[in-house]
Amino acid sequence: MTDMTEVLFSTYTAARTYVKAYFIIGNKRICYIYTHLDYEPKSTLYAQLEELFNLVEDETYFIITGDLNTKCSSVSDNDYVNGYKQFVDAGYHLANCSNQHGFLDTWVGSTDGSGTWWQTDNIITSSNIDILSVTVDQTKMEHLDGTNEIDHLPIYTALQIN
């Protein structure tokens, strides 16, 4: 990774940042961004998603990963319409929270797996990086102890860089 920076979002409730860096694969310079967005108020979440969208607009290749704190189970949900739709409309790819790969549960705040699951984690790629497959790693579910919260299940993808 080169040119690594950590940047405070322009709009935030908690002190939320993103880390931006670059790596090269096959002579292609790829912008990589990792972040953890605010959940509430929703206006802050949507402002942070818009800031990420604007950040990658001029990148030829990019991958965004992180806990994006979204909750959407269809393309009519507010987090999709006000947050993810701009990425889809631009031709970018989403590993989660879209019709492309589905609405995958990755977070629940419980110690036994019960409760309301959210689709909080995502991977977004530029239009020239295809998401071939998406997996939510369920290993944590095998280790429920009734004491520790499950928190996030990892989401990962197989990518093709074109």
What is the C-alpha separation between 54 and 47, in angstroms, rounded?
A: 10
Query: Is residue 146 pLDDT above 90, yes or no?
Result: no
pLDDT, tens digit (0-9, with 9 covering 90-100), for 90-107 = 999 999 999 999 999 999
Given this model, what pLDDT does residue 151 score? Answer: 85
Given this model, what pLDDT does residue 145 score? Answer: 84
Given this model, what pLDDT does residue 39 score? Answer: 93
pLDDT band (50, 70, 90) for residue 16: very high
Given this model, what pLDDT does residue 128 score? Answer: 98
Whether 106 contacts 153, CB under 8 Å: yes
pLDDT, tens digit (0-9, with 9 covering 90-100), for 23-51 = 999 999 999 999 999 999 999 999 999 99
What is the C-alpha separation between 52 and 86, in angstroms, rounded?
A: 11
What is the C-alpha separation between 30 and 62, in angstroms, rounded?
A: 5
Between strands 107-108 and 93-94, the pairing is: unpaired
In SS3 terms, 15-27 reads as CCEEEEEEEEECC
Given this model, what pLDDT does residue 88 score? Answer: 98
